[in-house]
Amino acid sequence: MMQQAAISISKSKAQLPLAWLACILLLTGCRPDPVVDCKTPPSATPLAVDIPAFFPPMDIPPDNPMTVEGVELGRLLFWEKGLSSDSSMSCGSCHLPSFSFSDPNPVSTGVTGAQGERNAMALINMAWVQHYFWDGRAATLEEQILDPVPHPDEMNLPWPEATGRLSADPSYLDMFTTAFGTSDITADHVAKAIAQFLRTMVSSDSKFDFSRRGQAVLSDLEFQGYQIFNREGGDPEVISGGQFGGDCFHCHGEAGLQFADYLFHNNGLDSTFEADPGLAGVTGQPLDSGRFRTPTLRNVALTPPYMHDGRFATLEEVIDHYNSGGHPSSTIDPFMKYSTGGLMLQPQQKEALLAFLHSLTDTAFAANPAFSDPH
pLDDT tens digits, 284-338: 999 999 999 999 999 999 999 999 999 999 999 999 999 999 999 999 999 999 8
Q: What mean pLDDT comes out for the span 118-146?
A: 97
Asked if residue 121 has pLDDT above 90, the reply is: yes
Residue 243, pLDDT score: 81
Summarised one tens digit per residue, pLDDT across range 248-279 is 999 999 878 999 999 999 999 999 999 999 99
Confidence bin at 240 (pLDDT 50/70/90): low
Helix, strand or coil, per DSSP, at residue 221: helix
**Contact (Cβ atoms closer than 8 angstroms) between residue 266 and residue 285:** no
Residue 241, pLDDT score: 63
C-alpha to C-alpha distance for 280 and 276, rounded to whole angstroms: 9
Domain 19-203+365-371 = CATH 1.10.287.130: no
Contacts with 326 (C-beta within 8 Å, 6 or more apart), sequence order: 267, 268, 269, 332, 336, 337, 338
Statement: the pTM of the whole predicted model exceeds 0.85: yes
Which amino acid does the sequence have at 20? W
Query: Where in the chain are the domains?
Result: 19-203+365-371, 207-359
Asked if residue 144 has pLDDT above 80, the reply is: yes
**Contact (Cβ atoms closer than 8 angstroms) between residue 211 and residue 204:** no
Confidence bin at 239 (pLDDT 50/70/90): low
Asked if residue 38 has pLDDT above 70, the reply is: no
Q: Among 3.40.630.30, 1.10.760.10, 3.40.50.1100, 3.40.50.410, what is the CATH number of 207-359?
A: 1.10.760.10
Relative to beta strand 264-265, strand 292-293 is: antiparallel
Is-same-fold flag (19-203+365-371; 207-359)?
yes
